[in-house]
Amino acid sequence: MKPKVFIAKPIPQEVEEFIAKHCDYKIWREVEPIPEDILLKEIADVEGLMTPKGIITEDLLSHAPHLKVVSNIAVGYDGFDIEAMKKRNVIGTHTPYVLDEAVADLVFGLILSTSRRIVEFDRYVKDGEWNFNLDSQEYFGKDVHHAKLGIIGLGRIGEKIVRRAKLGFEMDVLYYNRSRKRDLEEKYDVQYRNMNDLLKESDFVVLMLPLTEATYHTMGKEQFASMKRDAIFINCSRGQVVDEAALIEALENNEIRAAGLDVFEIEPVQKDNPLLKMKNVVTLPHIGSCTENTRFDMAMKAAENLVAAVTGQVPPNVVKELQ
Ligand code: GLV
Ligand code: GLV
């Protein structure tokens, strides 16, 4: 008998076929997220759950007494209740590596669209307002090439950002990380700074930390106040790593120049969020990994992790807290 699993979102056919070879599965095929009550019913007798959200609570686990593995179709696993999973011997996997390049591309999308004011000008042009004086200082953007880029959190994605920054844009790159990455310092000529010096020196500050208890609200009032008035803040990691009220205040008081955000403290972002009214803020709906190839690769990787775990092998990408 094949092990039973549940897949909580639609996935590419090829990935589904791979799972079908090894598992007896059911799948949620709707585009809308699966309602909680249906999910809790579907997991009652399964050994594996593949899910896009990875919100794994004690309550959810109590509805799935046979569960061995949660395969998260994402790299971030801040939704896992690690202690509850440990207690019940449920392992958790995620999808590192396959989305690094796509997220790094998007970071540069936000760097360029904020500094060169691409979204703002696009609106003027489409609204028929191409009649302003572009020799006027107020419309000038900010150079990306040869500027100083500060990365907070130099992990896998951070390294891809460094390559683009150094090789493509000839930027100076600073980084702050809990542990020094001397190999990368040497390989790419990037320089370590403590957090405060990085904030003070950088023209672009890119936040790339996972969300944990330790990183919650890493960027707050004090940190934004340390940034250059002309600096741009980019976040493609998790909204809650930033005290969003402090970010809003810094932008309102012109303490920083602009912000490019793919993530928010509350998602979907609330309609009355002041960030949505600011011309110098570019907002995206958490699309870091959202390309055809990357989403396919993430689904396949999640499937491989799922199948390995329910067929008695060690999955390649068990999250480190549950290894
Ligand atoms: C996306 O945010 C992910 O964690 O994969
Ligand atoms: C995220 O996966 C990172 O390591 O930056």
170-208 residue pLDDT tens: 999 999 999 999 999 999 999 999 999 999 999 999 999
pTM, two decimal places? 0.95
Which atom of ligand 2 is nearest to 210's Cα? 1
- Two tokens at 10? 């639609």
Q: pLDDT value at position 161?
A: 98
Which is it for the CA torsion 264, 266, 272, 273, positive or negative? negative
Percent of the chain with pLDDT over 90: 98
Distance separating alpha carbons of residues 83 and 232, to the nearest angstrom: 37
In the CATH hierarchy, which fold is given to the domain comprising 100-283?
A: Rossmann fold (3.40.50)
Q: Is 74 in the pocket of ligand 1 (CB under 6 A)?
A: yes
Cβ 69 vs Cβ 315: under 8 Å: yes
- Mean pLDDT taken over the chain: 97
Would you state the pLDDT for residue 134? 86
Band (pLDDT 50/70/90 cuts) for residue 75 is very high
C-alpha dist (Å) from residue 202 to 153, 175, 210, 232: 14, 10, 21, 9
133 pLDDT higher than 90: no
Residues 277-311: tens digit of each pLDDT? 999 999 999 999 999 999 999 999 999 999 999 99
The CATH 3.40.50.720 domain(s) of the chain lie at 4-96+292-322, 100-283
pLDDT (average), residues 140-146: 98
| CATH number for region 4-96+292-322 | 3.40.50.720
Best of 75, 175, 215, 241 for a ligand 2 pocket test (most atoms within 8 Å of beta carbon) = 75
Angle at 218 between CA 84 and CA 215, to 5 degrees: 20
Q: What would the pLDDT profile of 78-125 be if each residue is shown by its tens digit?
A: 999 999 999 999 999 999 999 999 999 999 999 999 999 999 999 999
The ipTM value here is 0.65
pLDDT for residue 169 is more than 90: yes
Best probe residue, ligand 1, of 50, 80, 103, 289 (max atoms within 8 Å of C-beta): 289
Task: Compute the distance from residue 288 Cα to the ligand 2 centre, in Å.
Answer: 12
What is the pLDDT, as a whole number, of residue 170? Answer: 98
Residues above pLDDT 70, as percent of the chain:
100
Question: Is the pLDDT assigned to residue 131 strictly greater than 90?
Answer: no
Round to whole Å and give the CA distance between 37 and 60: 10
**Residues marked as catalytic:** 238, 267, 286
Give the count of beta carbons closer than 10 Å to the beta carbon of residue 19: 25
